[in-house]
Amino acid sequence: MHICACDYASTVTTLQDPPHPALLRSVRRRSLLATAWELAEVRWAALALLLFAIGGITQLAGAPSPVWWVLYLACYAAGGWEPAWAGLQALREKTLDVDVLMIVAAIAAAAIGQVLDGALLIVIFATSGALEAFVTRRTADSVGALLELAPEQAVRLDDSGAATDVDVADLAVGERILVRPGERIAADGVVVEGASDVDQATITGEPLPVAKQTGADVFAGTVNGTGSLTVQVTAPAHDSVVARIVALVEEASETKARTQLFIEKVEERYSIVVVVATLLILGVPLLAGAAFQPSLLRAMTFMIVASPCAVVLATMPPLLAAIANAGRHGVLIKSAVALENLRTVEVVAFDKTGTLTLGTPRVADVIGLDGSSADQALAVAAAAEQHSEHPIARAVGEAARARGLAVPASTGFRATPGRGVAATVGGRAVVVGSPLLLDDEVPAEVHGQAAAFEQSGHTVIVVMVDGRPAGLIALTDQVRDTARATVDQLARLGASHVLLTGDHQIAAEQVGRQVGISRARGGLLPDGKAAAVTDLKQGDRTVMLVGDGINDAPAMATADVAVAMGRGGSDLAVETADVILVRDEIAAIPTSISVARRAHRVVRANIVFAACVIVALVTWDFVGHLPLPLGVAGHEGSTVVVGLNGLRMLRKSVWRGGTMAS
């Protein structure tokens, strides 16, 4: 644990009370508080804080000094034993860090009667370590939970067609497995028999189930629809797409952690300078014949005024105040490091489905054919689809209701995976489904209209009545109302943007045009998205990735700043992200960047002020005689000033004016 601005990466705002219901899914196995309380670091920090608070109350109430001294010393023991032990371990390895310095400063404060100052340092230490341990635990749990997407058992088929339940880990490339309706697919493979619709949003982010027939690729962890599939395994369990997602997240997270080495080096050098200076202030006068007690008092005074507490608090209040302010407006920024990274964002990469769009299809256009009007075709389609739970069926039904159409009853409903549904409506045979239903006898004009819809990025279904086409229905994913304005605001802040999606290229380009993004890349699997983010980071550019699905998690871990949709986002996306949009309001992204930049300006002003005060006090102690009360007053006074200045970031006007605070 290190007391510095960057160490407050562990400060998580997802513990707000009450938490947003959309985030409760990510902690369904255990509550956030239960997870936190399992950690020893959290329990010790809570005890230290409680003892500190009771000590402060008794001191203010005028209790005898031994009472609150005992409470403060108990706070020392509860919150300080772990960093003290870590400091001793560092000394054994012949290194010196801020752990050692701050513990010595706290003890020195108590030695000269300033036990309150020392207890405050201890509380800061303990709280930082507890929050860091909590985030580490939650992230590890979320990555491990991803592996549970793929089932542990599979139904293996031998050459005779006999079925046997086996462990997924025992499957070999080339073997065949049976996937029944509603089951999760156990391994990456290719369909060799059967047809079905497969929901693979967890891997590709596609909003609709994808029709799978012979020759189609399928992925482990995706959900089979109503048909039965025979799949030939093409990759072992340890090399599946899901397993690679886990590996990519872990690898990228480790790479981020290595960037903290620079911070540690700075801390160690600072600690060495302070310790050496303290020893000189104590030793040189003693060698010159000075009395021991005044020399010790002067050295301890130096240790107090040179401690980095004021500089740390110069950084923490504005950052945490900005985080709290964002939290009140539905943006959960997990750490001060994430907030600092927000201000430097130069490129914003958006996922499409569920991020720029709502992830639910809607009817965009209806064309009547063969004498049928558009409303007639839509009403007949809604009648045939009314017994289906497919997202397209719901979209057709909603469109018919929106137009006020009377939807007749239907009988004999049946669904054919990969093709569509059939029913009898008013004594006529109605089929609604894929354009594959169109045969060669249908006029070329109808084929051309269907192809034109598909080329423009729409999903097309055809309505057939008694074997003849009665209409074409074009569906599209709904673009968020605020998407265009969000992209425009990012451009004004100097951030470029790109669209990365697992959906096909045409759909990517269409959505890009709607929201004002000129660069769009489609057909990307999770590792492809992560590679695209790596490419965007060339030239030391800071890249933000905004996504919502498990398929976005590797790219999120690779990006400098990851933003997840809290309401519709997957558990892993929420846990991997640095920033969570609780209400899925992407318009908050440019505001968050602006607020982060304003917070940085406050931090910079605070650090300059705090550093100047410390330099002045240290210089005074070196060249003259700094009275202890004046030294403590200057040190604590600077802490109060920078703290109050930082808390200005809590004002509501900061968030409302965020888009101007760039």
Q: What is the mean pLDDT of the chain?
A: 80
Output the pLDDT for position 436. Answer: 75
Contacts of 526 (CB under 8 A, 6+ apart): 203, 241, 244, 245, 248, 550, 551, 552, 553, 554, 555
Output the pLDDT for position 628. Answer: 66
Give the span between the Cα atoms of 527 and 242, in whole angstroms.
10
Output the pLDDT for position 484. Answer: 94
Q: What is the mean pLDDT of residues 461-470?
A: 91
- In this prediction, residue 263 has a pLDDT band, given cuts at 50, 70 and 90, of very low
Residue 276 reports pLDDT greater than 90: no
- In this prediction, residue 571 has a pLDDT band, given cuts at 50, 70 and 90, of low
Output the pLDDT for position 424. Answer: 95
Q: Across-strand partners of 190?
A: 217, 232
Q: How open is the CA angle 256-565-24, to the nearest 5 degrees?
A: 95
Q: Give domain 359-479's CATH architecture.
A: 3-Layer(aba) Sandwich (3.40)
Give the span between the Cα atoms of 234 and 188, in whole angstroms.
6
Residue 242 reports pLDDT greater than 80: no
Give the span between the Cα atoms of 339 and 11, in whole angstroms.
11
As given in the structure block, the two tokens for residue 519 are 């660069």
Bridging pattern class, strands 561-565 and 579-581 = parallel
For residue range 69-115, what is the model confidence (pLDDT) as tens digits?
999 999 999 988 887 887 788 778 777 666 676 677 678 778 777 78
- In this prediction, residue 614 has a pLDDT band, given cuts at 50, 70 and 90, of confident
**Residue 364, H or E segment:** strand 357-368
Output the pLDDT for position 527. Answer: 85
Residue 647 reports pLDDT greater than 80: no
- What are the b/e assignments for 361-371, b being 16+ CB within 10 Å? bebbebbbbee
Output the pLDDT for position 373. Answer: 94
Residue 427 reports pLDDT greater than 80: yes
The more confidently predicted of residues 90 and 213 is 213
The more confidently predicted of residues 639 and 199 is 199
Which one-letter amino acid corresponds to residue 162? A
The more confidently predicted of residues 243 and 418 is 243
Q: Which of 222-226, 331-335, 405-409 has the lowest mean pLDDT?
A: 331-335
The burial class, CB within 10 Å (0-12 / 13-18 / 19+), for 247 is middle
For residue range 477-524, what is the model confidence (pLDDT) as tens digits?
888 989 999 999 999 999 999 999 887 788 888 889 999 999 999 888
- In this prediction, residue 207 has a pLDDT band, given cuts at 50, 70 and 90, of low
CA dihedral 299, 301, 303, 308 (to 10 degrees): -160
As given in the structure block, the two tokens for residue 480 are 């968020």
Give the span between the Cα atoms of 602 and 610, in whole angstroms.
12
- The label of the residue with tokens 């998205």 reads 529
The more confidently predicted of residues 407 and 607 is 407
Output the pLDDT for position 7. Answer: 36
**Nearest residue to 315 via CA among 615, 660, 612, 608:** 608
- The label of the residue with tokens 């469109």 reads 399
Residue 125 reports pLDDT greater than 90: no
As given in the structure block, the two tokens for residue 460 are 């097309």
Output the pLDDT for position 464. Answer: 92
Give the span between the Cα atoms of 72 and 440, in whole angstroms.
87
Residue 662 reports pLDDT greater than 50: no
Instruction: Return the active site residues.
Output: 351
As given in the structure block, the two tokens for residue 656 are 């409302």
Output the pLDDT for position 138. Answer: 61
Q: Identify whether the C-beta of residue 199 lies closer than 8 Å to the C-beta of residue 209.
A: yes
- In this prediction, residue 230 has a pLDDT band, given cuts at 50, 70 and 90, of very high
Which one-letter amino acid corresponds to residue 381? A
pTM (predicted TM-score): 0.64
Residue 460 reports pLDDT greater than 80: yes
Q: Identify whether the C-beta of residue 579 lies closer than 8 Å to the C-beta of residue 333.
A: yes
Q: Identify whether the C-beta of residue 75 lies closer than 8 Å to the C-beta of residue 52.
A: yes
Q: What is the mean pLDDT of residues 28-53?
A: 77
Give the span between the Cα atoms of 529 and 361, in whole angstroms.
23
Give the span between the Cα atoms of 556 and 248, in whole angstroms.
10
The burial class, CB within 10 Å (0-12 / 13-18 / 19+), for 224 is buried
Residue 660 reports pLDDT greater than 50: no
Contacts of 33 (CB under 8 A, 6+ apart): 15
Give the span between the Cα atoms of 13 and 514, in whole angstroms.
34
- In this prediction, residue 6 has a pLDDT band, given cuts at 50, 70 and 90, of very low
Question: Residue ranges per domain, the chain?
Answer: 5-144+248-342+591-660, 151-239, 359-479
Q: What are φ and ψ of residue 17, in 5° steps?
A: -120, 115
Output the pLDDT for position 405. Answer: 93
- The label of the residue with tokens 């030391």 reads 540
For residue range 293-315, what is the model confidence (pLDDT) as tens digits?
788 778 877 877 887 666 766 77
The class that CATH gives domain 151-239 is mainly beta
- % of the chain with per-residue pLDDT over 70: 80
Residue 20 reports pLDDT greater than 60: no
Q: What is the mean pLDDT of residues 372-378?
A: 94
Question: Which letter does DSSP use for residue 353 in this model?
Answer: I
Residue 10 reports pLDDT greater than 50: no
DSSP secondary structure string for all residues of 237-300: GGGSHHHHHHHHHHHHHHHHHHTTHHHHHHHHHHHHHHHHHHHHHHHHHHHTT--HHHHHHHHH
Q: Which of 223-237, 242-256, 408-422 has the lowest mean pLDDT?
A: 242-256
Q: Do domains 151-239 and 359-479 have the same CATH topology?
A: no
